[in-house]
A and B are shown apart, each in its own frame.
Chain A
Amino acid sequence: MRAAICGYSVAANQDHVIRITKALLPIILLLTRVAGQSPAPEEGIPVTDPLVIAKCGPCHAKDDRGNLERISWMRTTPEGWQEALRKTVLDGRLTIAPAEARAVVKSLSGSHGLAPEEAQPVAYYAERRIQEEGIDDDNPLTSCTKCHPAARPLSWRRSPKEWEQFVETHAKEYKFDLNPRTITALSKTTSLHTPEWTGWSARTARPDLSGRWLVTAHLHGGGKYTGELQVERGSAPDEFSTRIKLKSTKNGFEVVRTGQTVIFGGYQWRGRSRGVNPPNSPEDASNEARESLWFSPDLTRAEGRWFWGQYQEFGFNVELRRPSTGATLLAIDSQSLKIGSKSNAIRLIGDNFAAQVSPADLSFGPGVTVRRIVSGNATEIVVEVDVAANATPRKNDVSLHGSVLKGRLAIYDRVDYLKVTPESSLAAFGNANYQRGFGIFEAIGFQRGPDGKAHTADDLDLGPIDATWSMEVFYAVDSSGNDKIGKVSTAGLFTPAADNPGVNYDIWVIATAVKEFSKDARPLVGKGYVVVTVPEYTFNGRRYIRDLDRWIEEGTW
């Protein structure tokens, strides 16, 4: 199941995947080129928190420089410290009260955490995204990705000696062949001391995230939302309460959510919220969600995901920004316009729009002309635009009084193919002990780019296309048995069957375009691959259960 868990296809947001993949690429390439070198000794990072010293010091000896054995030679995310602490407790090596454990994780996430630049490439792990990591068999991290995503080791920073000790212990405990290239590669690319950490750790200011934030969000399967978030200070300087009001750009549906959050290390938001009204369905935007956001080093913007579900299959992609003194464009309701079309109504949604807006204040990029302003207020402007018959297919920026949405409007002349997102994914049968894992899909239209080929990087993303949904089971002669595996709704939600058949099934989730056709007049079709898996299985007399991103033996941690 290695790559089935770790190497599945893309996150819901195409731009997010491209950004993450580009950020990870240097690390992945460097890991494939590193030659063997001996690890060198390195200065530790002292631990000064009295609670951490009290709870960890009995086993992690303190030296005269204030370093705690092993701990001072590693840094990681809040999730990394939480896992390390949990393992220590489950192994019987530590007794600690829950409040103390939380305090220790919070402390170490700050004093021995990651700089924002280090955390961002692996933020998808905390955000529980299905992420394509591209770790092939030549990569030194292959031995890691047999059991979990590469993001897990890449979320840590250690000295070379500490990497060597950790990998050797890990290989012995989990019974895999030790690859010396792994130690060398990790020592070079995820080292303890970095310029980014030196710069970040020198900043001591606590974050004040209280106040008003503007929100843009995309609910996979549910479309775009905009709104505002109010953050109020909590009982501790790094704890806050939240209230967010979101409005769908598609149908005006509103959802209000309230919650709590903790800021780790000065920029890592880890929260929990729920809708003020109870949810009506598994995909309802009011479901209780965990939240993971990454704040930029200047703390003026944030991005991340709020997620829920058996394997966190549902979620909002979220962006926050501070209001400005001028107009802020947050979203437009159309993602694409056809070349030669006229009198297209477009809604611009944002904040602090001027009372009077003229066509000259707006730009929709080359080939698009504002015909007239239909209506306007402080948060919404409706315009009519024409697209020239000789416009070039491309992604245009949209701007209003200096506020720019980059590349948000695709100008196109035809839809060449559909892509179902996610392209490959999991779902899970449930049973008495485990809830079902669903699949939620979108059909995205694309036009071939200048290279003339489909499925290449220059293709034009046209946004969601209206489609009908169906499913096809692999190896099945006909569809008569489909109900025993599951159903796909008209909204693209795959629901596994209520009865667990005890085996995995591979299926296609199929989108058939309502209004887009191929050259031979057949509706365009896109397919997403889904493995509908069992929640637990027995192998060689031992039972395994799915725990988030991996299988674990039942009864172990």
Chain B
Amino acid sequence: MALAHHGLAVFDRTTPITLIGTVTEFHFTNPHCIIDFDVKAGNGRLQKWQGELTSPLHLKGWTATSLEAGNQVKITGYRAKSGAYYVWITRLVSSNGKEIRTNGDNLIPETP
């Protein structure tokens, strides 16, 4: 569904990145969920990132409160080619126990 309105071409799929940050907001909404999270850069400054997940319809067992402000997250994915603080999430591990992994070609989570 996310592919239907924008493809993967906006993301750099040659170089996955991994980020560790703190959730500031979780948007549990169509067409795809978005996680706002802060990442402390090497110089100590906070970077405001957004990570893209799949639609709520594909996140079995998730709700609007599955991620909350303050959760620590480790996110792996593909960064936007534009250089914006934006990532297509291929793996997420949260301090509250939530975990998700996709195959990288789409946003559909793999069944654990």
Tell me if B23 is interfacial: C-beta within 8 Å of chain A: no
Q: How far is the CB of B102 from chain A (nearest CB, A)?
A: 15
Residues of B within 8 A of A1 (CB): 1, 4-5
Known A9-B29, A424-B31, A455-B65: A3·B55 in contact at CB below 8 Å: yes
B29 close to A529 (CB less than 8 A): yes
Interface of A is mostly: loop
Residues of B within 8 A of A8 (CB): 30-31
Tell me if B64 is interfacial: C-beta within 8 Å of chain A: yes
Bound-state CA distance A5–B81 (Å) is 27
Bound-state CA distance A3–B31 (Å) is 7
A3-B55, A423-B27, A527-B27 known; 6 new pairs, CB 8 Å cut-off, are: A3-B57, A454-B68, A475-B81, A476-B82, A477-B84, A531-B5
Residues of A within 8 A of B28 (CB): 455
Q: Which residues of A contact B (CB under 8 A)?
A: 1-4, 7-9, 132, 134-137, 423-424, 453-456, 474-477, 504, 506, 527, 529, 531, 533
The 30 listed contacts between A and B (C-beta, < 8 Å) are A1-B1, A1-B5, A2-B1, A4-B5, A4-B30, A4-B31, A7-B30, A9-B30, A132-B30, A136-B57, A137-B57, A137-B58, A423-B27, A424-B30, A453-B65, A453-B68, A454-B68, A455-B64, A456-B64, A474-B84, A475-B10, A475-B80, A475-B82, A475-B86, A476-B82, A477-B83, A477-B84, A504-B5, A504-B6, A506-B5
Bound-state CA distance A477–B84 (Å) is 5
Residues of B within 8 A of A7 (CB): 1, 30-31, 55, 57
B64 close to A533 (CB less than 8 A): no
Q: How far is the CB of A213 from chain B (nearest CB, A)?
A: 36
Tell me if B73 is interfacial: C-beta within 8 Å of chain A: no
Bound-state CA distance A1–B32 (Å) is 12
Bound-state CA distance A9–B27 (Å) is 12
Q: Which residue of B lies closest to A528 (CB)?
A: B29
B21-61 contact mask (Cβ, 8 Å, vs A): 1 or 0: 00001011111001000000000000000100001011010
Known A135-B57, A136-B57, A475-B84: A533·B27 in contact at CB below 8 Å: no
B82 close to A2 (CB less than 8 A): no
Bound-state CA distance A439–B15 (Å) is 36
A423 close to B29 (CB less than 8 A): yes
B29 close to A4 (CB less than 8 A): no
Bound-state CA distance A531–B34 (Å) is 14
Bound-state CA distance A7–B10 (Å) is 24
Known A455-B28, A474-B86, A476-B82: A533·B5 in contact at CB below 8 Å: yes
Q: Which residues of B contact A (CB under 8 A)?
A: 1, 4-6, 10, 25, 27-31, 34, 50, 55, 57-58, 60, 63-65, 68, 80-84, 86
Q: Which residue of B lies closest to A142 (CB)?
A: B57
Bound-state CA distance A453–B71 (Å) is 14
Q: Which residue of B lies closest to A134 (CB)?
A: B57
Bound-state CA distance A137–B106 (Å) is 15
Residues of A within 8 A of B30 (CB): 3-4, 7-9, 132, 424, 529
Residues of B within 8 A of A506 (CB): 5-6
Bound-state CA distance A108–B31 (Å) is 37
| Cβ-neighbour of A529 out of B10, B27, B58 (below 8 A) | B27
Residues of A within 8 A of B80 (CB): 475
Residues of A within 8 A of B65 (CB): 453-456
Residues of B within 8 A of A424 (CB): 29-31
Q: Which 7 A-B pairs have the closest CB atoms?
A: A455-B64, A1-B4, A3-B1, A475-B80, A136-B57, A4-B31, A424-B29
Q: How far is the CB of A279 from chain B (nearest CB, A)?
A: 30
**Interface-central residue, A4, A454, A475, A529, by most chain B CB under 10 Å:** A475
A477 close to B82 (CB less than 8 A): yes
Q: How far is the CB of A420 from chain B (nearest CB, A)?
A: 10
Q: Which residue of A lies closest to B60 (CB)?
A: A136
Residues of A within 8 A of B64 (CB): 454-456
B4 close to A4 (CB less than 8 A): yes
Q: How far is the CB of B45 from chain A (nearest CB, A)?
A: 16
Residues of A within 8 A of B4 (CB): 1-2, 4
Q: How far is the CB of B67 from chain A (nearest CB, A)?
A: 11
Bound-state CA distance A527–B34 (Å) is 11
Q: Which residue of A lies closest to B11 (CB)?
A: A475
Residues of A within 8 A of B68 (CB): 453-454
Residues of A within 8 A of B60 (CB): 136
Residues of B within 8 A of A132 (CB): 30
Q: Which residue of B lies closest to A451 (CB)?
A: B65
Bound-state CA distance A424–B34 (Å) is 12
Bound-state CA distance A529–B58 (Å) is 18
Bound-state CA distance A529–B56 (Å) is 14
Residues of A within 8 A of B1 (CB): 1-4, 7
Q: How far is the CB of A117 from chain B (nearest CB, A)?
A: 28
Residues of A within 8 A of B27 (CB): 423, 527, 529
Q: How far is the CB of A557 from chain B (nearest CB, A)?
A: 22
Residues of B within 8 A of A4 (CB): 1, 4-5, 30-31
Bound-state CA distance A7–B4 (Å) is 13
Bound-state CA distance A4–B58 (Å) is 14
Q: How far is the CB of A357 from chain B (nearest CB, A)?
A: 43
Q: How far is the CB of B108 from chain A (nearest CB, A)?
A: 9
Q: Which residue of A lies closest to B25 (CB)?
A: A527
B34 close to A529 (CB less than 8 A): yes
Residues of B within 8 A of A475 (CB): 10, 80-82, 84, 86
Q: Which residue of B lies closest to A476 (CB)?
A: B84
Bound-state CA distance A506–B64 (Å) is 21
Residues of B within 8 A of A454 (CB): 64-65, 68
Q: How far is the CB of B51 from chain A (nearest CB, A)?
A: 12
Q: Which residue of A lies closest to B108 (CB)?
A: A137
Bound-state CA distance A550–B52 (Å) is 25
Residues of B within 8 A of A455 (CB): 28, 64-65
Q: Which residue of A lies closest to B83 (CB)?
A: A477
Q: How far is the CB of B6 from chain A (nearest CB, A)?
A: 6
Residues of B within 8 A of A423 (CB): 27, 29
Q: How far is the CB of A538 from chain B (nearest CB, A)?
A: 15
